[in-house]
Structure 1
Amino acid sequence: MKLIAAVDGAWHIGWENRTVYRLPQDLHAFRQITLGSAVVMGRKTFDSLPEGPLDGRANLVLSRSMAEQTPGITVCRDLDQLRARLADFQDRPCWVIGGREIYRQLLPFCTHARITYTSRIYPADCSFPTPLPELGWVLEADEPVPDTYGVFRFQEYRNPAPEPF
């Protein structure tokens, strides 16, 4: 399991149920990376999707309150149910795509993270649970995002001690 997120310099991820910034290169990379995979998200993240379930991906929503019969998604009530459902998608990569509570719950099980990072700080009401460097994750790649003059960066982190899921 891997995670993908866009954060600012304070590791903010959201403002009023949207990402703190919208960067076309990030949206394009997100689509390319997650296409064909299983994506795991919370209900609020799902509700923030402008066009509903992400096409070309298996959409799994971890939620205690969402209706089970929501078209285009698989609802999981807890981690045990998520684990069982992900077994159906063993042939695909799995990406955790947010929000904060879902990152918090699944972070220990993730092996890698793809972070779009900027040192700029934006207004926010939601932050990543704990910045990955503070958790001992290893930065393995740090590349400027094309056409942003180095203001935004694609970073790859590795969890040196992921827990089995």
Structure 2
Amino acid sequence: MNNIYAIVAMTKKTNSIGIDGHMLYHLKDDLKYFKETTMDHAIICGRKTYFSFPKRPLPGRKNIILTRSFDSYEGAFTLHSKDEVLEYAKNNPDEKVFICGGDNVYKQFMDVVSKLYITEIDEEEPVIADSYFPEVDPEIWEVESASAYVKEDGAPKYRFMVYSRK
């Protein structure tokens, strides 16, 4: 689908994205990039990812939680399956829909997203993690753009990559 994208911060070597329900790094420019990229659009995440946000719902975006639960969450919508998300995207073709975690949600949607917005973290040593982004297969994905590396104090260098489906 042309209006479904994934956005993630992951390590370059191991595709690590988090541990114990938390991001591996809190990178100021990455958080700004996430905000600017997703602002005024829909974001879709699992319940655990939603509750990891410091502020809920994330302002300026349509927050959609993908969950099997029929609980309601103030300020957010719920969808209950991949098919419901696809139906939502189909019925709202002019709306950008960003998949933003966790790892199981990314895995479910890798076959349908049309672009990947990846903050690629160049860790020197593999980090300890328990959640991972799926492989970005070069047979399927091509680099559309890549920024120069950014370096913040006390953090590994990183860059912003956009991939398009071939």
Residue in structure 2 matched with residue 152 of structure 1 by the alignment = 158
- CA RMSD, 1 decimal: 2.0
Higher helix share: 1
Does the CA contact (< 8 Å) of 2:19 and 2:129 recur in 1?
A: yes
- Choose 57-66 or 131-140, whichever is displaced more: 131-140
Question: Which of the residues 58, 63, 70 maps onto 1:59?
Answer: 63
Structure 1 unmatched ranges of 5 or more = 161-165
Residue in structure 1 matched with residue 80 of structure 2 by the alignment = 77
Counterparts in 2 of 1:17 and 1:116: CA distance versus 1, 3 Å? same
SS in 1 for 2:127: coil
TM value normalised by structure 1: 0.86
TM value normalised by structure 2: 0.86
Residue in structure 2 matched with residue 10 of structure 1 by the alignment = 14
Distance 1:87 1:96 in 2: 15
Does the CA contact (< 8 Å) of 1:36 and 1:92 recur in 2?
A: no
Structure 2 unmatched ranges of 5 or more = none
The residue identity in structure 1 corresponding to 2:132 is S
Does the CA contact (< 8 Å) of 1:25 and 1:145 recur in 2?
A: no
SS in 2 for 1:132: coil
Deviations 1:92-129 (A, max 9, x none): 2111111111101111111111100122032211111x
> How many residues in Structure 1 have an aligned counterpart in Structure 2?
158
Deviations 1:45-77 (A, max 9, x none): 11111111111101111110251x211111111
Distance 2:20 2:136 in 1: 23
Q: CA deviation at 1:141?
A: 1.8
The residue identity in structure 2 corresponding to 1:78 is S
